Amino acid sequence: MRIVIAGGHGQIALRLERLLAARGDEAVGVIRDPQQSEDLRAAGAEAVVLDLESASVADVAEVLRGADAAVFAAGAGPNSGSARKDTVDRGAAVLFADAAEQAGVRRYVVVSSMGADPAHTGDEVFDIYQRAKGEADAYVRSRGGLDWTVLRPGMLTNEAGTGQVLLAASTGRGPVPRDDVAAVLLELLDTPATAGLTLELISGSKPVAVAVKDIAGN
């Protein structure tokens, strides 16, 4: 498969790229900073330098053309202000979805946030982030040309993955290693029957493949 990942230098994206490359798939990471290209190559991925805050739909569609799936894993980052929550966490996700439709890439997986909600209230930066992610998710889920899956992990950690997760429409709060988030993303890409699902993810007791198989088609 050829998988194009927005936010290709993110911690989850780099893990996913390694997993894809290890089994012979073609991972393409979209990044803004050309200095990050070497890290992507080290992960076994192709780097495409494109700023999703200024690119056009046509620009992004050209990168996506011929891909088997698109993964939106970009984010403004914890130190960014409220303006970039809108331009990246909402705007870039909408742009990437529009571009996927234009390029004819139906499979579209979003790395979202637990608690994302377009109706989330409050004026703190985290509140704005949760609204932006919620608005992006709602937009993606409204697109008839996409076979979308929205994944909402709990509190992300850098602990080694266990390969044991809880994946459900609602899981309650909890931590999850980024290793396991990447493993779940890979399994979702391999499981078309998870299209149309919005799923929460935390550490649990089911092997990743079993957890995805059990939720598929529900």
Residues annotated catalytic, as ranges: 129
Q: What are phi and psi of 53, to 5 degrees?
A: -85, -15
Q: Residue ranges of the alpha helices (H) in 48-204?
A: 57-64, 82-84, 93-103, 125-141, 178-189
H helix or E strand, kind and range, residue 24 = none
> What is the arrangement of strands in the sheet containing 107-111, beginning at the earlier edge strand?
46-49, 26-31, 2-6, 69-72, 107-111, 147-153, 197-203, 164-168, 206-207
